[in-house]
Amino acid sequence: MTRTFDGSVGWAALRERFADRLGTGTLAALDDAVAFAAERHGDQRRPAGEPYLEHLLEALEVLVDATGERDPDTLRAAVLHDVVEDTPATVGEVRERFGDRVAELVGWVTKSGDRDAYLASLRDAPDAAIAVKLADRVSNVQRLRTHPRPAKRASYYRETVATIVPLAAGRPWFEEWYSAWQAEHADLADLDRDGR
């Protein structure tokens, strides 16, 4: 069974858990990123109804707990990865508040225009942006069976296998996790567009 991550514990609990591994400067930088994301995402909910911030915290938890990531810019980008795509925030605002590198990483993982072109472009992304995307997708697919639309479960499974799993190559924790996840959800590959 693949490991799951739980953002419902909230930032305060995760912060306390991370305190022995992340320095006070990184934690303070994450405080700012979490506050900005919480304010911008506001009352947004995920498809299964959970508060949006939980997803962002799960992506962060994947990087800190599972992969051992410690780079403050990568970690802040994980928290902010959907703020441009799903709120009125702009890359310029992210740059002004969090710096050029965080803005660049957020830019790489922000969908704009054609979805297929966006996913293909990730092959050329910097390693840190790929790590953020892989952590984002772990959060998105770890509970894929809870998505309210069966057809979406199937199409998202197929998209993940085709475009995201290859990005995990050479990243041992992600390779292992996605391999196990793919095996556990293989039945979704056979569902048709109506989820049957």
Boundaries of every domain in the chain: 7-190
The proportion of the chain whose per-residue pLDDT surpasses 90, expressed as a percent, equals 84
- Catalytic positions: 85-86
> pLDDT tens digits, residue range 19-55?
999 999 999 999 999 999 999 999 999 988 899 999 9
Across residues 101-118, what is the average pLDDT?
94
Predicted pLDDT at 189:
86
**For the chain, percent of residues with pLDDT exceeding 70:** 97
Q: What is the pLDDT of residue 192?
A: 58
Contact status, residue 103 vs residue 95, Cβ threshold 8 Å: yes
Q: What is the mean pLDDT of the segment spanning 47-72?
A: 96
Instruction: Please state which CATH number belongs to domain 7-190.
Output: 1.10.3210.10
Q: Is this prediction's pTM over 0.85?
A: yes
Of the pLDDT bands very low, low, confident and very high (cuts 50, 70, 90), residue 63 is: very high
Has residue 75 got a pLDDT over 80?
A: yes
